[in-house]
């Protein structure tokens, strides 16, 4: 008796839920089947293994990126996508040629560093005394000209966090530190790597020069080398470092976002867009950043493509070009699609490594929220909890949001992401196949239900400017 009452309540709740979400019991069954199939074993690991083995590092502007493009086109076709096409993006090419550094005095020994993306070269060997700063604010606080003929060294430690929240303040040092140091007269910038590891492997990443400020070379020391340099400086004697960075911009190149689509059965011109970025840095093989994201979303789309009946709307998977050097593929997508943005039902991007998903966020209108809530009930068995607010569309889809893209975020556990991020250690052994399956399950449910619902998902109203 008690059981049947509970069952009745359960059934009526489900019906009410389904009504608001525009999804019926059949759609829900299909989504559950996608989820459970993915959990039994998806193709994501096989895809990221293929990309890291057959292409490897594929920095924006490199010949290797062209091989990655051909790889992605072939992979989409092999996975049964109906349409595969390229979307161009042109940008200046930055290259790393060589990099080395050593302490000249008082304790001569080698230092391990890597040039930041976008850095200029040193003119031959650059030899100068090092001045340490705890953070960017300390550097900004010294009078202009103070650092004439010196190397500024910003030694700000990154804190480990599941949600990656330690990255923002420290990556700001990487992005803007060189121009701040140049304003004070410095001839080069050294930073502590933006990372949470203690490996002797430095973390690269993009930096940008401010217009009208001298362009000085900028590099990241590995975390143990930053500690080493700080220990020398603590002894109170001047520390002289010699560094030699050969890098810089040469000409421009056109590369491509690679796009695969599963055609919708009744509203083919409306799309759910998912994806990751195809480019990587040059130091590792780009397994977690962002081979995993490409593999997860390609595999999720392919799983939906294998259904006997496609969802109402199309599923579009984008392998974005050159995210690392300024979200260039994402900006190109937004620009090319801005007039077509109203036909975008939902966007979600995977670019935070290979760790399991634990939270779902969405940026949609209040009226569309029941769809997300219904999706949340199907993701709960995967250990994914729907959040009332917060989240973001991600780096590559972010540029589409001002044009009206409704978005969802499936947040991954990034506890160890910044141990490997942008280093030579970003390799396939950091990727766990079962963790990828959980993510494919989540993306397949999200994309399928968003593509199948009777509700046209509307974007979040724009935040009013203060």
Can 129 be counted among the known catalytic residues? no
Residue 351: CB minimum distance to Zn ion, A: 4
Q: Which of 290, 435, 452, 460 binds Zn ion (CB under 5 A)?
A: 290
For Zn ion, the binding residues in 21-60 under the rule CB under 5 A are none
Find the binding residues for Zn ion in span 323-352 (CB under 5 A): 351
Return the H-helix or E-strand segment holding 191: strand 188-192
Tell me phi and psi for residue 354, to 5 degrees.
Answer: -120, 10
Token pair 């060589």 is at which residue?
Answer: 98
Based on CB atoms, which residue is closest to Zn ion, 28 or 197?
197
Q: Which of 323, 409, 452, 460 is catalytic?
A: 323
The answer to whether 99 contacts Zn ion (rule: CB under 5 A) is: no
| Residue of 274, 445, 263, 265 lying closest to 346 (CA atoms) | 274
Place of tokens 């009078």: 143
Of residues 28 and 351, the one with the C-beta less far from Zn ion: 351
3-class secondary structure, 81: coil
The span from the first CA to the last CA of the chain, in angstroms, equals 57
Nearer to Zn ion, 351 or 452 (CB): 351
CA 329 to CA 324: how far, in whole Å?
A: 10
Nearest distance from C-beta of residue 290 to Zn ion, angstroms: 4
Please state the closest distance from residue 352 (CB atom) to Zn ion, in A.
8
Rule CB under 5 A: is residue 270 a binding residue for Zn ion? no
Residue 282 interacts with Zn ion (CB under 5 A): yes or no: no
Distance CA 100, CA 114 (A): 8
Chain center to CA of 64: 19
Closer to Zn ion by Cβ: residue 132 or 351: 351
Q: Of residues 289, 396, 409, 426, which one binds Zn ion by CB under 5 A?
A: 289
Q: Is 279 in the site for Zn ion (CB under 5 A)?
A: no
- Coil, strand, or helix at residue 95? strand
Prior bond to 438 cis, omega within 30? Answer: no
Q: Which is nearer to Zn ion, 202 or 293 (CB)?
A: 293
**Which residues have CB under 8 Å from 265's CB, separation 6+?**
309, 310, 311, 312
Q: How far is the CB of 60 from Zn ion (least distance, A)?
A: 12
Alpha helices in 396-432 (DSSP H): 417-420
Least distance to Zn ion, CB of residue 220, Å: 17
Residues that bind Zn ion (CB under 5 A): 289-290, 351
Which residues are tagged catalytic? Answer: 323
């Amino acid at each position: 008796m008690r059981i049947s009452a509970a069952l009745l309540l359960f059934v009526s709740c489900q019906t009410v839920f389904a009504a608001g979400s525009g999804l019926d019991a059949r759609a829900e069954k299909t989504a559950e089947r996608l989820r459970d199939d993915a959990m039994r074993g998806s193709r994501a690991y096989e895809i990221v293994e293929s990309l890291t083995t057959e292409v490897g590092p594929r920095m924006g502007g490199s010949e290797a990126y062209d091989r990655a493009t051909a790889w992605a086109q072939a992979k989409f076709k092999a996975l049964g996508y109906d349409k595969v096409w390229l979307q161009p993006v042109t940008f200046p090419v930055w290259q790393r040629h060589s990099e080395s550094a050593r302490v000249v005095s008082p304790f001569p020994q080698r230092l391990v560093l890597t040039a930041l993306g976008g850095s200029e070269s040193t003119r031959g060997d650059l030899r100068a005394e090092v001045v340490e700063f705890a953070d960017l604010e300390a550097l900004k606080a010294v009078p202009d000209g103070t650092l004439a003929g010196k190397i500024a060294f910003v030694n700000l430690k990154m804190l480990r966090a599941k949600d990656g929240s330690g990255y923002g303040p420290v990556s700001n040092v990487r992005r803007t530190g060189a121009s701040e140091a140049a304003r004070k007269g410095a001839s080069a910038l050294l930073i502590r790597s933006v990372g949470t590891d203690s490996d002797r492997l430095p973390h690269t990443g993009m930096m940008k020069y401010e217009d009208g400020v001298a362009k000085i070379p900028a590099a990241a020391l590995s975390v143990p080398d930053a500690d080493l340099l700080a220990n020398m400086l603590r002894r109170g004697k001047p520390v002289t470092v010699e560094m030699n960075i050969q890098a810089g911009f040469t000409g421009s190149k056109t590369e491509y976002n690679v796009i695969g689509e599963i055609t919708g059965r009744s509203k083919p011109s409306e799309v759910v867009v998912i994806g990751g970025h195809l480019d990587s840095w040059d130091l590792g093989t780009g397994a977690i950043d962002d081979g995993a994201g490409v593999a997860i979303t390609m595999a999720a789309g392919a799983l939906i493509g294998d259904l006997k009946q496609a969802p109402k709307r199309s599923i579009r998977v984008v392998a974005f070009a050159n995210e690392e050097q300024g979200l260039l593929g994402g900006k190109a997508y937004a620009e090319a699609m801005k007039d077509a943005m109203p036909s975008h039902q939902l966007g979600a991007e995977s670019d935070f490594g290979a760790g399991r998903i634990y939270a779902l966020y969405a940026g949609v209108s209040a009226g569309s929220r029941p769809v997300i809530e219904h999706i949340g009930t199907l993701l709960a068995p995967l250990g994914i909890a729907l959040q009332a607010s917060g989240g973001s569309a991600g780096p590559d889809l972010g540029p589409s949001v001002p044009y009206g893209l409704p978005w969802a975020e499936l947040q991954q556990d990034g506890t160890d992401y910044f141990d490997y991020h942008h280093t030579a250690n970003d390799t396939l052994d950091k990727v766990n196949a079962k963790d990828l399956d959980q993510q494919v399950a989540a993306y397949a449910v999200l994309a399928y239900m968003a593509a199948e619902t009777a509700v046209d998902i509307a974007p979040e109203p724009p935040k009013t400017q203060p």
